[in-house]
Structure 1
Amino acid sequence: MDNRQALGSWLSGPRAAAEEAGVDFGYRGEQLGLPEEGPGSIARPGRRLGALAVDWGLSLLIAYGLITQSYNEAAQIWAPLIMFALMVLTVGTVGFTPGKRLLGLRVLALDTGRVSPWRAVLRTVLLFLAIPALIWDRDGRGLHDRLAGTVEVRI
């Protein structure tokens, strides 16, 4: 092996080196039986973060406009509570929050397709802990989705 090849594999990362050695990783969602592209495929991180930002903005707007006239109080106390309730109620009933719907996303249970209220509560609690949402598997699902048995897909 020459120095260029060794340096190239180091710069491109372990995944590229493994693929070069013949390892087949497949696409995101393949192990779950989901399509590679289009409706039903795994949602990309950018859309997921965008939906979260829309939901946070909506919660902040509700807290500031309807509950309190203090932005600081709305942001620190009421907006997280409103967002928690919004996520549990909407994901547990229709499968998406307003932000997810706006960006074309939906949360599905892997076994039944429909997210039960208890799964929605578990998923939301884990999402609010932040650490589970920052740990992702090979399919792009956060630990909160794995533990709740859910997946976020494009619609």
Structure 2
Amino acid sequence: MARWIESWLPGSSPGGGDGPAAHPGERFGLPASGHYSVAGFGRRVGGVCIDWFLCYLLVLLVAGVDALGTAEFSWWVLGAWFVLTSLSVAVLGTSPGHRALGMRVARTDMATHVGVPRAVLRTAMVAVVLPPFLRDADGRGWHDRASSTIVVRTLRA
């Protein structure tokens, strides 16, 4: 039986059995380990940190050292991160941080591209911070469930 929260989050009930899955991603036909298995939480946090650091450096390069410590600087970093992450996930299926750590964002219906609306929704929810920490048995946060996506590994190592 589905939990109450699954009734309003799209992509939360992939149509598998009601029994517990043996490993994260099993309901979506993903392997337990290796290529295209569900990416771990630590790896995902690392990817976001890499993206944030890149945007921090980019804004610092454009705004200059004098902008450090101002409220505007923080908002510019957030805006740069939002644009970088949304566009790269929509077009390439991965952000620079995800790519560096061997991950990509995939749709749960296994379509080829994530697309702009899903990427923007997903990134906006990550910016709120709390949705990524509220996860299901497949390791998907609310941002992934709302956008019908899942983060998978792309490296075989």
Task: With the length of structure 1 as denominator, give the TM-score of the two structures.
Answer: 0.81
Partner residue in 2 for 1:87 = 85
Sequence identity percentage: 37
Instruction: Compare the two structures and name the one with the higher helix fraction.
Output: 1
Q: 1:123 to 1:24 in 2, by over 3 A?
A: closer
Given the alignment of the two structures, is residue 72 of structure 1 paired with residue 69 of structure 2, yes or no?
yes
Correspondence list, 1:3-152, <5 A? 25-69=21-65, 70-73=67-70, 75-111=73-109, 112-152=111-151
CA RMSD after TM alignment: 1.5
Task: With the length of structure 2 as denominator, give the TM-score of the two structures.
Answer: 0.80
Q: Number of matched residues?
A: 133
Runs of 4+ in 1 over 4 A off after TM superposition: none
8 A contact 2:46–2:97 mirrored in 1: yes
Equivalent position SS for 1:72:
coil
User: Could you report, residue by residue, the CA deviation over 1:62-111 in whole angstroms, capped at 9, with x for unpaired residues?
Assistant: 01111343222365121100000001110000011111100000001112
Unpaired runs of 5+ in structure 1?
1-22
Distance in 2 between residues matched to 1:121 and 1:24, nearest whole Å: 31
Q: Which one has a bigger Cα radius of gyration?
A: 1
User: 1:63 is aligned with what amino acid?
Assistant: V
